Amino acid sequence: MSILTLNNGLLLASDGSVNPLYVSADLALWTLIIFGGLLFLLGKFAWKPIIEGLNAREQCISDKIDAADKAEQQARTNLKQYEEKLAGAHDEAAAVMAEAKADANSAKEKIVAEANEEAIRTRQRALGDIETAKSEAVRELAESSVDTAVGLASSIVGRALSKDDHAKLIAESVERFSSPGA
């Protein structure tokens, strides 16, 4: 008979040769002993350390993750602080710079103003000197020309003029000299 023809023999055989559902008492008993013994031995010697070891490792990993989280948090706060500090330093530097610039500006202005003043003063002094020298020269010229004229006149007139005459003549001469320039 082929596999294609199902038959009653499938369940009727008592020795288990062609009955797929046949339960062999020997094999069942043996399985009971083997599996029971395996359960006991493995539970005692293998699964306990394995499960405990895995739990311990898991605990260790989760602890380390927590620690890493904490460290990251710490690093973040530190970074923030440093960034704030850095920003403060930047502002300070800018302020110092601005101050220095302002100082330099004011110093420059002061120097320029002083120099201007000095120049003006020098010019004025020079002008004053020129004026003084001019009037001195005019006076000296007048005096010497009076003297010359007196000398000439004395020699011409032949007589010495009095002191009053000299003064009168000097004043007339100065008048004469200065009037065209006035």
Distance CA 166, CA 52 (A): 142
65 binds other proteins (CB under 8 A): no
For residue 45, the number of C-alpha atoms closer than 13 Å in the C-beta half-sphere is 6
| Smallest gap from residue 90 Cβ to other proteins (A) | 47
61 binds other proteins (CB under 8 A): no
End-to-end CA distance of the chain: 165
8 binds other proteins (CB under 8 A): yes
52 binds other proteins (CB under 8 A): yes
Hey, what amino acid is at 154? S
- Out of 29, 100, 107, 141, the only residue in the binding site for other proteins (CB under 8 A) is 29
DSSP 128-158: HHHHHHHHHHHHHHHHHHHHHHHHHHHHHH-
Q: State the sign of the Cα–Cα–Cα–Cα dihedral 56, 61, 64, 70.
A: negative
Nearer to other proteins, 9 or 151 (CB): 9
Residues 6+ apart with CB under 8 A from 149: 169, 173
56 binds other proteins (CB under 8 A): yes
Nearer to other proteins, 12 or 86 (CB): 12
Nearer to other proteins, 37 or 128 (CB): 37
Nearer to other proteins, 15 or 164 (CB): 15
Distance CA 177, CA 182 (A): 9
182 binds other proteins (CB under 8 A): no
| Smallest gap from residue 15 Cβ to other proteins (A) | 6
Asked whether 150 and 169 are in contact (CB, 8 A), the reply is yes
Nearer to other proteins, 6 or 182 (CB): 6
Q: Find the part of the chain contacting other proteins (CB under 8 A) among 22-30, 79-87, 111-119, 141-149.
A: 22-30
Binding site for other proteins (CB under 8 A): 1-11, 13-32, 34-39, 41-43, 45-57, 60
